[in-house]
Amino acid sequence: MAILATLLSSSSSSSKPLFFFHQHPQKTLTINSCNPNIPIATNTLNRIKIRNNKTITALIGAGFALTSPFFVSTASAAAMELPLFLGSSLQLMEPSNALSLPTWAIHVSSVVEWVTAMILVWQYGEKSGYQSWKGLTWGMVPLLGGAFCACTWHFFYNAESLEVLVALQGALTVIGNTTMCIAAYRIYKSSQEGSTDT
């Protein structure tokens, strides 16, 4: 609250609106109209409505992106202190080739981003009417399989008995790059046919 009070007092000469009420567009809240006895959080922020789904999605994604380093560092610190609380008989021993928590965060977020991209490309193909874009989603599937191979191999501490996953990941990467190239060519051809029709 001290930071908020400092921000409010430092810009008290400004008459630009701080918040906009969607229910009553003619009402705006300025620094001069704030009642210092009523906290801003209960006075204004509870009345603000966000009606755009894209905005909500972007805010949630940005919040996750900004807070994930905090959770990763907190989790790694907690993992280091866990043997102190449980005693020496329950120490967590991982092999030297185990992935760190930040590396796992990168692996998992990359897979989530890839799946999100696949969903968005598919939706673009449906909404725009360009069916060739759906083919790009199908072209992305082998690369997703390669990502699952890599994550599975790392999950089992890069076990020698699962080295077949490394070869499978390489094969799926080659196949995925080829299918995405074919899908991109189909998108190009369909856009050329669309431009000659008009």
DSSP string, 140-174: HHHHHHHHHHHHHHHHTTT-GGGTHHHHHHHHHHH
pLDDT at residue number 18: 37
pLDDT at residue number 96: 86
* Contact call for residues 148 and 118 (beta carbons, < 8 A): no
CA 184 to CA 139: how far, in whole Å? 9
Burial (0-12, 13-18, 19+ Cβ within 10 Å), 140: buried
Structure confidence by residue, pLDDT tens digits, 111-161: 999 999 999 999 999 999 999 999 999 999 999 999 999 999 999 999 999
**How big is the chain by its Cα radius of gyration, in Å?**
26
CA-CA-CA-CA torsion sign (77, 81, 83, 86)? negative
Q: What is the pTM of this model?
A: 0.55
pLDDT at residue number 19: 37
What kind and span of H or E run contains 29? strand 28-29
- Cα 152 to Cα 92, 117, 136, 163: the distances in Å are 21, 21, 25, 11
Structure confidence by residue, pLDDT tens digits, 27-76: 444 445 555 554 444 444 444 444 567 666 765 666 666 555 544 444 44
CA-CA-CA-CA torsion sign (107, 108, 112, 118)? positive
CA 91 to CA 87: how far, in whole Å? 7
The domains of the chain are located at 11-47, 99-198
